[in-house]
Structure 1
Amino acid sequence: MKIEVLGTGCSKCKRLEERTHEALEEMGVTAEVVKVEEIDQIVEYGVFKTPGFVVDGEVKASGKVLTVKEIKKLLS
């Protein structure tokens, strides 16, 4: 599984990345987590409000810092 956190480096984006790692650890799941900071790549996903949350190439959320519980639900 590949998870991409889309954002230019703001505090919300960093918080989403931290929560993603926390959710994976709680679930006992191994995944590749990539931080995407290039605007061109973010726009290619159709995300105009960051942070964005992408799982295996599919945008699952944007413009919101997901909770650990929400991330776990999206990954299960």
Structure 2
Amino acid sequence: MAELIVDILGTGCKKCHQLEANARAALAQLNLTAQVNHITDPLAIADSGVMRTPALRINGQVVSQGSVLDTQEIVAFLPH
């Protein structure tokens, strides 16, 4: 299985940090190991096509923009 990559895209606000915490909790719940990146550079965020932050990207696919998904919502997007 290829390495799982989870990106949190946002400038570092409270909502961005909450989304990252929820993503880490979802990974832990499923006993998954992933590379978790927090991308804060506005140009890198814009280049990825994200228009609203916080955003969640899993293996290169943006699955959420502009909201803080809870742990169970993120679990649904993860392989299990």
Pairwise same-fold verdict (TM > 0.5): yes
Q: Which runs of 4+ in 1 moved over 4 A?
A: none
Question: Which amino acid in structure 2 is aligned with residue 61 of structure 1?
Answer: S
Pairs within 5 Å for 1:51-70: 51-70=54-73
Identity percentage of aligned residues:
36
Query: Residue 34 of structure 1 aligns with which residue?
Result: 37
Take 1:58 and 1:40, find their aligned partners in 2: how far apart are those partners?
18
TM-align CA RMSD: 0.6
Take 2:57 and 2:38, find their aligned partners in 1: how far apart are those partners?
10
For normalisation by structure 2, the TM-score amounts to 0.92
Give 1:9 shift: 0.5
Q: Report which of the two has the higher share of helix.
A: 1
> Where do 5+ consecutive residues of structure 2 fail to align?
none
> Where do 5+ consecutive residues of structure 1 fail to align?
none
Give 1:48 shift: 1.2
Give the paired residue count: 76
For normalisation by structure 1, the TM-score amounts to 0.97
Q: Deviations over 1:16-36 (max 9, x none)?
A: 000111110011010010000
Give 1:45 shift: 1.3
**Quick one: which of 64, 71, 76 aligns to 2:74?**
71
**Quick one: which of 11, 18, 21 aligns to 1:18?**
21
